[in-house]
Amino acid sequence: MPKLAANVSTLFPQLEFLDRFAAAARAGFRCVEYQFPYAWPAGEVARRAREAGVAVVLHNLPAGDMAKGERGIACLPGRAHEFREGVERAIEYARAASCPRLNCIAGLAPQDAAHFAQLVENVRYAARRLGEVGMQLLIEPINTRTVPGFFLTGSRQAIDVLNAAGEGNAFLQYDVFHMQIMEGDLAQTIERLLPRIGHMQLADVPGRHEPGTGEINFEFLLAHIDALGYAGWMGCEYNPRGDTVEGLKWARAYLS
Q: What's the pLDDT tens digit per position in 189-243?
A: 999 999 999 999 999 999 999 999 999 999 999 999 999 999 999 999 999 999 9
Name the active-site residue from 85, 88, 140, 246: 140
Domains of the chain, each with CATH number or no CATH: 3-255 (3.20.20.150)
Catalytic residue at 183?
no
pLDDT (0 to 100) of residue 256 = 67
Q: What is the pTM of this model?
A: 0.96
Number of Cβ atoms within 10 Å of the Cβ of 166: 11
Q: What is the dihedral of CA 17, 22, 27, 32, to 10 degrees?
A: 60
Q: What's the pLDDT tens digit per position in 63-75?
A: 999 999 999 999 9
Catalytic residue at 237?
yes
pLDDT (0 to 100) of residue 253 = 87
Local structure of 53: helix, strand or coil: coil
Name the active-site residue from 33, 167, 210, 237: 237
Mean pLDDT by 10 residues, the chain (256 residues): 92 97 97 98 98 98 95 97 98 98 98 98 98 98 97 98 98 98 98 98 98 97 96 97 95 86
CA quadruple 195, 197, 201, 207: dihedral sign: negative
C-alpha closest to that of 1 among 226, 218, 250, 249:
226
DSSP annotation of 250: G
> DSSP strand E in the chain: where?
3-7, 31-33, 55-60, 101-104, 136-139, 170-175, 197-202, 233-236
